[in-house]
Amino acid sequence: MRDLSTLPKVELHLHLEGTLEPETVLELARRNKVELPYADLEDLRGRYEFTDLQSFLDLIYANLTVLQTEEDFSDLVTAYVARAAAGGVRHVEAFFDPQPHVARGIPLQRVLDGLASGIASAERDHGTTVELIACFHRDRSEEEALAMLAALEEAGAPIIGIGLDSAEVGNPPAKFQRVYARAGELGLHRVAHAGEEGGAASVTEALDLLHIERVDHGIQAIDDPALMDRLARAGTPLTMCPLSNVRLRCVDTLADHPLPAFLEAGVLVTVNSDDPAYFGGYADTNYEALRATFGFSDEVMARLARNSVTASFLPEGRKTELLSEIDAWIAT
């Protein structure tokens, strides 16, 4: 069995705010004099038990208030990329959520400058490239998302696309049609969380109404054979996050995860980490957990890594380079 931390891979479902490790939360709270309701590290760690998506969102939104300065946003990126690169991640299309930062008074430009400076130094130090996707919170209004998209455009934000995250149930894709239409006019890539907690219909709606190019999670599509067929035929990528799905109780155990069924059905499945500081592992750990649970061969692991390259928004030349790095990994 080959070492999966050396398998070259692309991370396509990663929330930068979800990479804040508990130690860093407390360190930044001290540095920035932010009051948090935790007695100590042990108390904070004890809260990483989730019953569903919302119970996790409550914690991650409370913790991201420690991000205050440009340096904090820069450090967030460099710490994450150092860890990801050690696990074989060669390129990341990372989510960040501008709305909660701006809503608590952090200027958008500060967030963007911090992320950009972190990306530049991370690329220099590790050779791992990072592109940004701005995610809108689906439990906030479409008007607010439209205003944020305009602000991002005005700021010349270095983003390659938009996404949709936060509470899925009760906030269907249809609510954001105008935002996605505008993003299309701006030439941005479009992805959205769908079918995490929201059922197969949420995936179909996101494809039909938001014209998304990739589905984030999408595991509930397993309940709709016609949708499975559609995803396979169209080659629509799914960015799955197995350890996240277990921790948020979207599946009972990893052995119940539908990823193997999607592979079997010919769907372009990828493996990602979502919010690694909260769900027990970065990309390589998710790959390892799948191998340990399903007994996947090195060939299957390489196939999953190739899928991550194919599903990315990288230019063809870089895709070809990364695919040959994967060929070299399997050949040794």
Which positions are catalytic? Answer: 196
C-alpha span between 212 and 191 (Å, rounded): 5
247 lines the binding site for ligand ADE (CB under 6 A): no
97 lines the binding site for Zn ion (CB under 5 A): no
Q: Please report where in the chains the tokens 């989730």 appear, as a residue.
A: 50
How many other CB atoms are found less than 10 A from the CB of residue 328? 10
15 lines the binding site for ligand ADE (CB under 6 A): yes
- State both tokens at 319: 């895709």
196 lines the binding site for ligand ADE (CB under 6 A): yes
Q: Which does 196 bind (CB under 5 to 8 A by kind): Zn ion, ligand ADE, none?
A: ligand ADE
C-alpha closest to that of 213 among 251, 187, 241, 246: 187
DSSP 195: S
**Choices 135-143, 258-266, 271-279, 283-291; region in contact with Zn ion by CB under 5 A:** 271-279
Q: How many residues bind Zn ion (CB under 5 A)?
A: 1
Q: Which does 18 bind (CB under 5 to 8 A by kind): Zn ion, ligand ADE, none?
A: ligand ADE
Give, to the nearest 10 degrees, the angle between helix 70-86 and helix 22-32.
160
C-alpha span between 223 and 251 (Å, rounded): 13
Cβ 60 to ligand ADE shortest distance, Å: 6
C-alpha span between 190 and 314 (Å, rounded): 14
Residues 269-288 that bind ligand ADE (CB under 6 A): 274-275
190 lines the binding site for ligand ADE (CB under 6 A): no
Q: How far is CA 184 from CA 23, 289, 303, in A?
A: 39, 36, 30
Per-residue contact flags (x/-) with ligand ADE for residues 24 to 63, judged by CB under 6 A: -----------------------------x----------
Q: Which does 270 bind (CB under 5 to 8 A by kind): ligand ADE, Zn ion, none?
A: none
Q: What number of CA atoms fall less than 13 Å from residue 253's CA on the CB side?
A: 4
Q: Which of 166, 204, 270, 286 binds ligand ADE (CB under 6 A)?
A: 166
Question: Which regions of the chain does DSSP assign to beta strands (E)?
Answer: 9-11, 89-96, 129-137, 159-165, 189-194, 214-217, 238-240, 269-271
274 lines the binding site for Zn ion (CB under 5 A): yes
> Under the rule (CB under 6 A), what is the footprint of ligand ADE?
15, 18, 53, 165-166, 193, 196, 244, 274-275
